[in-house]
Amino acid sequence: MDVPYPILEHDPDEEAYIEPSKVNKPRDISEHCVLCFFRDIIEKVVREKQARIAVDNRWEDGPHPIYEIEHAQQRVALYHPGIGAPFAAGLLEEAIAFGCRKFMVCGGCGVLEQGIALGDLIVITSAVRDEGVSYHYLPPSREVDVDPIAIAALESVLQDQSIPYRLGKTWTTDAAYRETRSRIARRRREGCITVEMEAAALIAVAQHRGVVLGQTLYAGDDLSGETWDHRGWQRHEEVREKLFWLSVEACLRL
């Protein structure tokens, strides 16, 4: 059936013209994988844990290696997923094709609700699909839900370590510089407490490929007031590193 907008033309064909599993051979790699948006933390972990390169992956802009470390006597893969939904989705597709099956994602976000302090942790339960990638993987809908198995694994780790957190809905957008006041207000009314650029796409890819994926965000800049407050959110290495290792623990519980 014809629809008025190309983004809503969902194609149920399971096989793509360039199918990831046919152009990327399986590797000797852990099924557990952490996607970490904090490049400084990845570099520190790679250095201190003497990580090996499991996949020497490259894109047009340069190298995007998938590393592997040992933690609690188990192998764990990790990589930086890029910035933005298309980039993150493409790298996730390749990680799945290489052999990873259980994923945790850690990153930062803007907050839409007053009272969410800098560094607070939010376990994502669903995402408003205000980006383009997810519509190529799932039929059109307003939101996409996170796998409850992944949410349970994250909650168990956070509760075991007595770390406070929030469960919440996020707003995934492709256009950081088009987050208008009216749209922020609308997303708040929908129940969104955070905004970022990748979650809906990553969740959609995971559902389409039949893998498990969860995501935790730490509260960064504040969009809940009359004016934007950056809050220097990218300088908090301790919070970012702690979130990475929490994600590793949760991933290994999947």
Q: What is the pLDDT of residues 155-174, one digit of tens each?
A: 999 999 999 999 999 999 99
Residue 15 lies in a domain: no
Largest CA distance in the chain: 55
Q: Do the domain assignments include residue 21?
A: no
- Rounded Cα distance between 169 and 136, Å, is 21
Note down the domain range covering 119. Answer: 27-252
17 domain residue, yes or no: no
Looking at the domain assignment, is residue 9 inside a domain? no
- Residue 75 in any domain: the answer is yes
149 to 129, 155, 246, 248: CA distances (angstroms): 21, 10, 16, 15
CA distances to 16, 26, 66, 92, 98 from 22, in Å: 10, 10, 19, 15, 10
Where do the H-state alpha helices sit in the chain? 20-23, 39-48, 85-98, 148-160, 181-190, 199-209, 237-252
Is residue 22 in a domain? Answer: no
**Helices 237-252 & 148-160, crossing angle to 10 degrees?**
120
Q: Is residue 210 assigned to a domain?
A: yes
Query: Distance (Å, rounded) from C-alpha 165 to C-alpha 156?
Result: 11
Q: Is residue 160 part of a domain?
A: yes
Q: Tell me the CATH number at 201.
A: 3.40.50.1580
| Span 80-108, pLDDT tens digits | 999 999 999 999 999 999 999 999 999 99
Q: Tally the domains of the chain.
A: 1
The model's pTM: 0.96
